Amino acid sequence: MAQILNGNLVRDQIKGECLPRVTRVMEKAGRAPGLAVVLVGDNAASAVYVRNKTKTAEELGVHHETITPDASLSTHELLAIVAELNAREDIDGILIQLPLPSHIDAQKALLAVSPEKDVDGFHPCNVGLLSTGRPGLRPCTPSGVIEILKRYEIPIAGRNAVVVGRSDIVGKPMALLLLQENATVTICHSRTRDLAVVCRGAEILVAAIGRAAMITEEFIAPGAVVIDVGMNTVRTRAEAERIFDPARLADFDKRGSLLVGDVHPGAMARLSSAYTPVPGGVGPLTIAMLMRNTIEAAERRVGIC
C-alpha cells in the first residue's frame, strides 16, 4: 500500500523549527522578522492566499504588513512601493502577490525587489545562486518538495527524477534542487515526445504542469514516488466522473467543485510507493517555506548567519 506523504505534518515540523529562530532575531535586533505582502486589486483567490500567509506569520510571531493598492495602480506606482519597502530596515521579506493586473509589468516589478528581501526566490540573482549551488533564498514550493522527501527519508541521490513542467516558479528550480541532491533529472513539457514513456522511467516523478489529472496510470512506473504539485479546480460533472471514485463524486455533487492535482488520484494511489495527496500534500509547505525564507532573510540582515 502506498505511503501518503502528509504535507500538514511536515509543515508543522517546519513551523516548530521557525519559532526559536524568530526569538533569536528578536534578541539580536530588538524586533521580529518582517514580511510585507503587496496585494494589488481585489482578486478573490489571491486574497485568500494572502490571509493564509498572514495567519501563519501571526502564529510564528513574524511581523507582517499587507499593502493593498487599487487595481488601477500603474507599474511606476508599484515600483515606488517596492522601493520604499526595499529601504525599510524593519522589512526583511517582500512578496508581490501574483497575478498582477494585466496592465502592470509584472517582470519589472519582481526585478525591483531587492534580492536579499526576495522571499519568493524569483529574482535572477537568487536564481543564479541556486543554479551555482550557493546559499540564497529558494523558491518556496520546490523547496517544500525537497523537505517532504527528506523528512520521509526517501532517497534522492542516484535516482532518476522526472519533472513535468518547466515554469520559472516550480519546474526549473525543482530540477535544480533535485540535481543538488544528486538525482539524475529530466525536465518534460508540452513539447516532449512520448511523455508517458519518459515519465515511466522516473523513480521520483514531480508533476507541475497545471492540468487536472493529466498524469494517468500509463505515466507512472509501479513503485515510483509521485509528488503532485498541481492544484486545479474541477467544476463539471463529466470531468469529475473521469477523475474521482464514487465517494468523491458524492462530495462533488454536494459542493459543486473539488480540488485535484496534476496526477490522477486513483492511479497515483494504486501504482506509487509514496505520494503527496491533493489537498494536503505539497500545498501546506509553500507558506511554511515562505516563513522560513523570511526568517532566514532576517537572520542574514541582522548578522546571525
pLDDT of residue 46: 84
Is 180 a known active-site residue?
no
* Residues in the chain, total: 305
Does 139 sit behind a cis peptide bond, omega within 30 degrees of 0 on the bond before it? Answer: no
Is 254 a known active-site residue?
no
Please state the domain extents for the chain: 30-114, 140-284
Q: Which of 155, 154, 157, 164 is nearest to 199 (CA)?
A: 164
CB atoms within 10 A of CB 84: 12
Architecture of the domain spanning 30-114: 3-Layer(aba) Sandwich (3.40)
Is 118 a known active-site residue?
no
Answer whether 156's CB lies under 8 Å from 182's CB.
yes
Q: Which of 53, 117, 118, 262 is catalytic?
A: 53
Helices and strands in the chain, H and E counts: 12, 11
pLDDT of residue 30: 96
Instruction: Return the sign of the alpha-carbon dihedral for residues 18, 24, 27, 28.
Output: negative
pLDDT along the chain (305 residues), means of 10: 96 97 96 97 85 94 96 96 98 95 94 97 95 95 98 98 96 97 96 97 97 97 98 94 92 93 96 97 95 97 88
Q: ∠ CA(149), CA(145), CA(264), 5° rounding? A: 95
Q: Which of 7, 50, 59 is nearest to 295 (CA)?
A: 59
Same fold, 30-114 and 140-284: yes
pLDDT of residue 210: 93
Question: Which residues partner with 225 through β-bridges?
Answer: 204, 274
Q: Which of 92, 97, 117, 172 is catalytic?
A: 97
pLDDT of residue 1: 84
d(CA 261, CA 37): 26
pLDDT of residue 43: 82
pTM of the entire predicted model: 0.95
Does domain 140-284 fall under CATH 3.40.50.2300? My reply is: no
Q: Which of 92, 118, 120, 262 is catalytic?
A: 120
